[in-house]
Amino acid sequence: MLTVHHLNNSRSQRVLWLLEELGVAYEIVRYQRQPDMRAPKELRAIHPLGKSPVITDNGNTIAESGAICEYIIGTYGNGRLIPPPNTPERLRYTYWLHYAEGSAMSPLLLKLLFTLMPKRAPALLRPLVRKVSNTALTTLVNPQLKQHMDYWESELGKTEWFAGNEFSGADIQMSFPLEAAAARGGLEQGHPKAMAFLERIHARPAYARALEKGGPYVIGR
């Protein structure tokens, strides 16, 4: 049986959601973040990098969200959650599937990093670290993040979902960047179509089932 090595408050929540959408039987092995928010060392026994998500299935160990999505849909989807080959929608699907981690998450991770740095710096260094962090956020990170959020808003103004007018695995992939942007990036300010996208995915029964099985999901909610 397919096994999801599930880290709380992580991208592996998307894997559970994808499996629920497809109705694939699976089991969950749970891991809890350490106090410093890193994954526990036990995950290294599954994959050398010790990151989540990771799945194991039929002797295969697969990491990286995009690769996992491709594997699950290709193995169990039977044509579901993916546009037909050689269509504009399929090209958009492939693009968004990889853009989600390749481009969208970079400014969000920098936003988190520069927001946390002053809080975790030694007291004597905190004013200097705060100044450096605020400068980086103002001049580099926030403008990049706004550019991405405006891009999502524009694209969701063309079609209901990221790959077209049908819900697909690309929307599952894109859920994490949008949820992170809503939690800490100001997505709610001037991006009604992106916020409506989040409302639509949160209303899906499979999304709710994945939350029940995966546990509390602070990042997205």
Per-residue pLDDT reduced to its tens digit, 38-67: 778 888 889 898 888 999 999 999 999 999
pLDDT at 51: 83
Pick the more confident residue, 201 or 37. Answer: 201
pLDDT tens across 150-177, in order?
Answer: 999 999 999 999 999 999 999 999 999 9
The CA distance from 18 to 66, in Å, is: 12
Res 220: pLDDT: 46
- β-bridge mates for residue 2, sequence order: 26
Q: If pLDDT is split at 50, 70 and 90, which confidence band does 221 have?
A: very low
Q: What is the CATH number of domain 3-81+207-214?
A: 3.40.30.10
- Tell me the CB-side half-sphere exposure of residue 160, using CA atoms within 13 A: 7
Is residue 200 within a helix (H) or strand (E), and if so which, with residue range? helix 192-202
pLDDT > 90: percent of the chain: 81
For 178-213, the pLDDT digits (tens) are: 999 999 999 999 999 999 999 999 999 999 999 999
- Contact criterion met (CB below 8 Å) for 60 and 137: no
Domain-wise residue ranges, the chain = 3-81+207-214, 88-204
Phi and psi at 182, nearest 5°, equal: -70, -30
**pTM higher than 0.85:** yes
Question: 59-90, pLDDT tens digit by residue?
Answer: 999 999 999 999 999 999 999 999 999 999 99
Quick one: which H or E segment has residue 61? strand 60-63
- The DSSP bridge pattern shows strands 2-7 and 26-31 to be parallel
The whole-angstrom separation of Cα 134 and Cα 130 is 6
pLDDT tens by residue, 106-144: 999 999 999 989 998 998 999 999 999 999 999 999 999
Residue 170 · residue 162 · CB < 8 Å: yes
Write out the two tokens for 188: 């709610």
Residue 204 has what DSSP assignment? S
**Gap between the Cα atoms of 71 and 67, Å rounded:** 6
Contact 108, 185 (CB under 8 A): yes
- CB distance 49 to 25 below 8 Å: no
For 155, other C-beta atoms within 10 Å of its C-beta total 17
What is the rounded distance in angstroms from the CA atom of residue 135 to the CA atom of residue 157?
Answer: 32
Q: Which CATH number fits domain 88-204: 1.10.1660.10, 3.40.50.1220, 1.20.1050.10, 3.60.21.10?
A: 1.20.1050.10
The model's confidence at residue 219, banded by pLDDT at 50, 70 and 90, is low
